[in-house]
A and B are shown apart, each in its own frame.
Chain A
Amino acid sequence: MTTRIAGLPRETNQIGQTPWLLTALAYGLPVFFILIPLVSFLAYSFFWVKGTEVHYDLTLLNYIRIVTDEIYLPVLWRTCVLCLEVAALTILFGYPVAYFLAGLQGRKKYVLLMLLLVPLLMSYVIKIYAIRSILGGNGFLNRFLMATGLIQEPLTIFVFNLNAVLLALTALLIPFAVLPIFLSLERLPRNLLEASADLGASELQTFARVVLPLSLPGVIAAASFVFVLAIGDFLTPQMVGGNSGFTFGRIIYSQFGTAYNWPFGSALSVLLCVLVVIAIVIGGRFGNARGRA
């Protein structure tokens, strides 16, 4: 960082002197509107509640309740498994797409990539609603399966349960898996592929021995991306999950609504944060390892 201005005589370097008011603002605004809310949120997890009154003395009761109660950890575990499944499914679909896109030439490639990302900006609530109606008993999926003769009666295994949440989240999050994998495939040096071909490897061998291992950091990044987005989503499970599709996010949300126990909800969210940070660190570590190589 210092090398940028190192060549300059000290006195011409007027840019470096920021007025104290601006410095104060540059620190103050992010701290006030982002850091303090996050810290007070962390602090809340050590308070407790009685009736509708929040008591501001520190306690570990919320955390003890999470560990000892038999509801929360199993739900957390199920949610983690669910989100890992979502990550696996999105990668299963996303990897071939990324591979296909990366193999295209010129402008076509970026136009298709763009088209892949556009649905992300389209109304989220409407998409969940549409997915729910597609998965529903009378929805497109069942009618399609019945038309093909695969099933006789409409299936109900995709309605208001964790399967529905799994499919809905997968459909929503695929683009987030494609992007990191695409980027890692794009950065793959062409000459490695040529060398592999010159040495007599078939297309499949080149893929299995060269492309796949080198794109694994992108896959890990994609997995951590999708996992974080899936585990933080409390609206999709609420909408398509029904009564049996209970996830950790929904429990947190309910603590701030009907259950009205903000400190306990905060403690649950802190747990969520820890998981998210772990996922990001894992994703980031592998991403950086590739950057250095």
Chain B
Amino acid sequence: MKRLSSGTIGLGLLTAFVFVILYGPIFVPIISSFFTVKYGQVDWGNANLDSYQLLISNDGILTAVQNTLVVGVSAVVLGLILGCFLAMFYQFSQSRGRGFVQFIIFLPFLMPPIITGLALLIFFREIDFERSLVTVIIGHTVFVLALIYRTILVRLQALGMNMVEASYDLGASGWQTFRLIILPNLKSAMTGAAILAFALSFDETMITILVTGTDNTLPIRLWAMMRLGFTPDINALVTVILGFTTILVLVAARHLIPKEFTSREA
């Protein structure tokens, strides 16, 4: 047993303070969604769901949510296909330039989003590609690809070559080996990566604001509204999204973390 020294208590208090800093800004909209806030004072006696009712009838916001979902799902699906393909290419191919390819994949994740966003903006203009949700999807795919690629590659490397070689020795074709051996083993890594990538895409603001056309995703819509001040239904929306994000993160954690836990505790 470790006795609690005053140092440990001090550290604990400081940690608690940091958690307040981190979660404070998140609780403001949650509280405001249930209670009326006037002049910075919360009216605790009057809890209601009015803001949620307003939300259901706000078409502009709902369209933005829909756009965000379309972009997120498309980017994740594209990212998974590409990430899986590129990770397998890195792991199994003998090609000399695969390190270079990997470097390119990591670039949008290393560089600030403003660089990726501006590069794509200029690129789309030069190839005369109209900015729309499609360009947003491409931007998000490029952005989340590194994360998905890395997660899958780590799992592939942990998997080793034995099973793949065994599969080939038993006469399976490349496609059969992929479908029956590799893919099932990648499932949990892909699920975890997909959820994290979706969460990133859902909140991506800086690349999106540069490459989007007239269709807004939710963060861009919120950004535009923020200048005028938010209406109560925004708080309701944020609360719903936070709840949704928390569930997603917890699910992702279940897929990504258990292996770490067991290996660390063993």
Contacts and interface: CB of A to CB of B under 8 A. Distances in A.
Nearest to B157: A4
B206 A234 contact: yes
Contact of A273 (B111, B210, B223, B234): B111
Interface in B226-253: 226, 230, 234, 238, 241-242, 245-246, 248-249, 253
Contacts of A93: 14, 18, 21
Contacts of B112: 228-229, 231-233, 272, 276
Interface in A41-58: 41, 44
A260 B5 CA distance: 59
A140 interface: yes
Contacts of A96: 11, 14-15
A204 B260 CA distance: 31
Contact of B209 (A34, A36, A229, A235): A235
A122 B101 contact: no
Contact of A262 (B122, B248, B253): B122
B219 A123 contact: yes
The interface centre, meaning the residue of A41, A114, A174, A233 with most chain B CB atoms within 10 A of its CB, is A41
A8 B94 CA distance: 14
Interface in A229-274: 229, 231-235, 239, 249, 252-253, 256, 262, 265-266, 269, 272-273
B190 to A, nearest CB: 18
Contacts of A276: 110-112, 115
Contacts of A124: 203, 205, 219
B126 interface: yes
A16 B261 contact: no
Nearest to A130: B25
A174 B22 contact: yes
Given A15-B164, A31-B104, A97 B114 contact: no
B45 interface: no
Contacts of A126: 25-26, 29, 222, 234, 238
Contacts of A134: 24-25, 28
A37 B222 CA distance: 28
A110 interface: yes
Interface string A98-128: 0111010011001010111011011111111
A253 B19 CA distance: 32
B18 A269 contact: no
Contacts of A234: 114, 206
A35 interface: yes
Contacts of B21: 93, 171, 174
Interface stretch (A22-30, A68-76, A191-199, A209-217): A22-30
A23 B93 contact: yes
Given A16-B94, A37-B119, A118 B249 contact: yes
A140 B101 CA distance: 49
20 contacts: A12-B168, A12-B169, A18-B89, A22-B89, A25-B85, A30-B105, A34-B105, A40-B126, A112-B15, A114-B257, A118-B245, A123-B219, A123-B242, A123-B245, A174-B21, A178-B18, A229-B112, A235-B205, A269-B118, A276-B115
Interface of B: 5, 7-8, 11-12, 14-15, 18-19, 21-26, 28-29, 39-40, 82, 85-86, 89, 92-95, 97-98, 101, 104-105, 107-108, 110-116, 118-123, 126, 138, 141-142, 161, 164-165, 168-169, 174, 199-200, 203, 205-206, 209-210, 219, 222-223, 226, 230, 234, 238, 241-242, 245-246, 248-249, 253, 257, 260-261, 265
Across chains A and B, which 9 residue pairs bring their CB atoms closest together, nearest first? A232-B112, A130-B25, A37-B123, A37-B119, A41-B119, A100-B11, A26-B89, A130-B28, A30-B104
Given A34-B107, A38-B119, A126-B25, 7 more contacts: A18-B94, A97-B15, A126-B29, A134-B24, A171-B21, A234-B206, A256-B121
Interface of A: 4-5, 8, 12, 14-18, 22-23, 25-27, 29-31, 33-38, 40-41, 44, 93-94, 96-97, 99-101, 103, 106-107, 110, 112, 114-116, 118-119, 121-131, 133-134, 138-140, 143, 171, 174-175, 178, 203-204, 228-229, 231-235, 239, 249, 252-253, 256, 262, 265-266, 269, 272-273, 276, 280
